[in-house]
Amino acid sequence: MKKKTLQLATVLLAGSVVFSSCIGSFSLFNSYAKWQRNMTDSKFVNAIVGFVLMPICGTLSLLVDSLVLNSIEFWSGQNPMEANIGTTKNVLGSDGMLYAVTTLKNGYEIKAPTGELSHFWYDSKTQTWSFEQGGKRHDVFTFNGDGTIAVYMHDGQQLNVTPDMAGLGQVRMAVNGGNYFAMR
């Protein structure tokens, strides 16, 4: 009798910890699910691979999320899977100079070696990234609801592309006028 009571108490205690309304954002599992849905252009291939990976990867990411990451998020107020706001990293630019890139809540601040500041801002309501430099701000691209990306060109035109190498090639062709030059 005592053994069954101890087992029941253990199960109830474990259940109270797991189901204690420490509901977090489940960012690890959601990242895995998003990757699994978009790993190829074919939804059928994604489904087949998903059936193979979901029992292992999906279960593991859900378990880690629910027991560890969501608990940390509940008690600390910050999700460990999110970027650390306020951290600064030095990034080597294509010009060979180091730029200080600081992670902000809704974008990035870039400080050039000359001291000039630029910003990349993300508006979650419109799903738009914009660039600001010298007090002037212009939209760079927007994530459309149909899975495409609207790229805003410097001449005021808008180009809708797919989020893959073909879309990147379309943007490069539009920006460079179809000309590619080798850089050293």
Rounded distance between C-alpha atoms, residue 101 and residue 147, angstroms? 29
Contact 23, 70 (CB under 8 A): yes
The CA radius of gyration of the chain, in Å to the nearest whole number, is 23
Query: Which of 3-7, 42-46, 55-59, 153-157 has the lowest average pLDDT?
Result: 3-7
Which of 19-23, 67-71, 157-161 shows the lowest mean pLDDT across its residues?
Answer: 19-23
Read off the pTM: 0.53
